[in-house]
Structure 1
Amino acid sequence: MAFARNYESTEPARHDVDARAGPAVIEFGAPWCGHCIAAQPAIEVAFATHDDVRHVKVEDGRGQPLGRSYRVKLWPTLVFLRDGEEVARIVRPLTAAPVAEALAAIDPPADA
């Protein structure tokens, strides 16, 4: 699946996120958010070697239940999940390195 360019029009339900098997990243933000736009190149670079990680971009906002269930305060916030469990979280990444490190925690290289 790899890097998602667009925000989903509807967010998934928390119980569906919790039940999902395998590695996934939920990115909370908004398409008009300057911090979100600035972070996209770094996020895309980090995802380049993680094609099997599901990346879901959720357009977050006041009263949105999924973002509130993860206590998202700033955008973008990336929540890294393995089998529905949060493994790592990064807020407002500026470089690919921390994103790549968190991706490796949920989707280790085959030779590891």
Structure 2
Amino acid sequence: MDSLGYREEQPDRADIDTMPGATLLVFGTNWCGYCRAAHRPLETALAEYPQMRVVKVEDGPGRCLGRSFRVKLWPTLVFLRDGVEVTRLVRPHKAEPITTALRELASRPSS
């Protein structure tokens, strides 16, 4: 089974909250079937936004960052502008809603 790129090491919430510009946080695990199913649509959508900062974080019990964002299902995509949540998607299975959210995020000016 190949890795989807979810990292065990997690940034601190304070670091996420101070990230400038657009950021996409993706919570999931490398072994999750829903995460595996969402991988191709996510990659397809991100192909239009190569400059997008993407942070893929392995989530699970005892993982503080996911809890701070109230993640309950995987994958959860949290779209941030200057550390503030703009929108989120839970278990997307098509590229279109991801692309729409990325377009909205990219069109918002930084504070």
The two structures share one fold, judged by TM-score above 0.5? yes
Q: Which residue of structure 2 lines up, in the alignment, with residue 77 of structure 1?
A: 76
Q: Which string of whole-angstrom CA distances, capped at 9 and with x for unpartnered residues, describes residues 10-30 of structure 1? A: 011000000000100000000
Is the counterpart of residue 41 in structure 1 residue 40 in structure 2? yes
Residue by residue, what CA displacement relative to the aligned partner does 1:36-76 show, whole Å, maximum 9, x if unpaired?
00000000000011111111110000011000000000000
> SS in structure 2 opposite 1:27?
strand
Residue in 2 aligned with 1:7? Answer: 6
- Deviating beyond 6 angstroms after TM superposition, the runs of 4 or more aligned structure 1 residues are none
Q: Which runs of 5+ in 2 are unaligned?
A: none
Name the SS of the counterpart of 1:107 in structure 2: helix
Counterpart CA distance in 1 for 2:19 and 2:93 is 28
The 5 Å alignment of 1:1-112 reads 5-108=4-107
Q: Could you tell me which amino acid in structure 2 is paired with residue 75 of structure 1?
A: W
RMSD of aligned alpha carbons: 0.8
TM-score scaled by length of structure 2: 0.91
Residue identity over aligned pairs, in percent, reads 51
Cα distance in 2 for partners of 1:85, 1:36 equals: 24
Per the TM alignment, residue 8 of structure 1 is displaced from its structure 2 partner at its CA by: 1.6
Task: Spell out, residue by residue over 1:70-109, the C-alpha distance to the aligned partner (whole angstroms, 9 max, x if none).
Answer: 000000000000110000100000100100011011113x
Structure 1 unaligned runs (5+)? none
* Aligned residue pairs, count: 104
User: What TM-score results when the alignment is normalised by the length of structure 1?
Assistant: 0.90
Tell me, in whole angstroms, the C-alpha distance in 2 between the residues paired with 1:69 and 1:86. Answer: 12
